[in-house]
Amino acid sequence: MGWNWQKGDWPRFRWDKAALDAAETMFLHQSGVLIGATMHFSENEEKLLVVDLITGEAMKTSEIEGEYLNRDNVQSSIRRNFGLDTDSRRIEPAERGISDMMSDLFNNFDRPLNHASLFQWHQMLTIGRRDLEDIGRYRTHDEPMRIVSGRIDKPTVHFQAPLSNVLIKEMDRFMAWWHGTAPGSRKPLQALTRAGMAHLYFVCIHPFEDGNGRIGRALAEKALAECLGKPTLIALSQTIARNRKAYYNALEESNKDNEITEWLAYFAKTILEAQAYSMDMIDFLIEKTKLYDRVSGHLNGRQIKVMERMFREGLEGFMGGLSAQNYVSLTTTSRATATRDLLDLVEKGALLKTGELKGTRYHLNIKRRRKTKLGH
């Protein structure tokens, strides 16, 4: 059967354009809604939204690859990149690296793509690594690059990438395709089509020893930003991570043939869901501002610390709600003081209380304007 890059028509991908027309139209419409929703934000509010989105993307694009990072460390690193106040905490290399790459993707979305810019991203991702031979360059080892699972003595091969001795040729061709399909080129592609194709094309070449998935998802976001003429503000990796199995299944189904309509339809749906999730985050920030306006000047230091911590959890909030014990741990205060503070926050309209006795939990008193359905 072989892999798509072994076919005679590689990399001349084929797809049904009509199958994507509705999604392309919806993407442009929702992009306008997203842009319009942020127009009335202050500069600081917009920075906070961007930091929250990029933090989530950095965390989840790493999680998709099985790497779990500390959210506070990642956010601190990103805040520093955007000139916001932060503490002097020690940031691990992996956390700093993905933070720098995602910040660069946002701030320099319109920088021309070339081999050097990909090498720079790879260096950011692999900072501090000692287990890789090729950092900041395409892989050079002779053995095949395979994606496998199962037993070591009897693995299941999900994909095998082109050998390293053809990577320069393959990546030169990828660069020519990228620039030849960009907005303003001779054969521009629509936003979702180009983003989905860029991601699939890149990960099928698999040019790096590690980090291909994270860079491939970044390329998809860069493709969208180039088509819009500004950063996308979408939660792509956060959406993919909610159904990682579907993502990997879609990739595996698409690496054996160069007819890719099914892949593009999956990826387009994922991007539209990511946009809807981002709109929820904007609503969340608006409601956060309203809540702080209501209680401004009426909270003690402990209450402010806990409220800020709850908001940092984002849309999902504390799993199952905040308990009195959580409050004690966060503030290092007594149980009695924690209970008084929490009841005071309920009376002031900052929190909502649910349950009784040991089952009592507290939730942010904010409205959700929509319920985003994520996953597939």
Beta carbons of 62 and 68 less than 8 angstroms apart = yes
The pTM (predicted TM-score) of the whole model is 0.87
Average pLDDT by stretches of 10, the chain with 376 residues:
93 98 97 89 86 94 96 94 88 97 97 98 96 97 91 87 97 98 97 98 98 98 97 94 96 97 98 94 84 90 92 72 94 96 96 93 79 40
Q: How far is CA 208 from the centre of its chain?
A: 20
**Widest pairwise Cα distance in the chain:** 73
Class of domain 4-281: mainly alpha
Residue 310, token pair as written in the block: 């709850």
The CATH number, out of the four listed (3.40.50.2300, 3.40.50.720, 1.10.540.10, 1.10.10.10), of the domain defined by the range 299-364: 1.10.10.10
State the pLDDT at residue 374.
37
The domain ranges of the chain are 4-281, 299-364
Q: How far is CA 174 from the centre of its chain?
A: 23
Is 299-364 in the same CATH topology as 4-281? no
Region for residue 332 given its phi and psi (left: phi exceeds 0; alpha: psi -120 to 50; beta: otherwise) = left
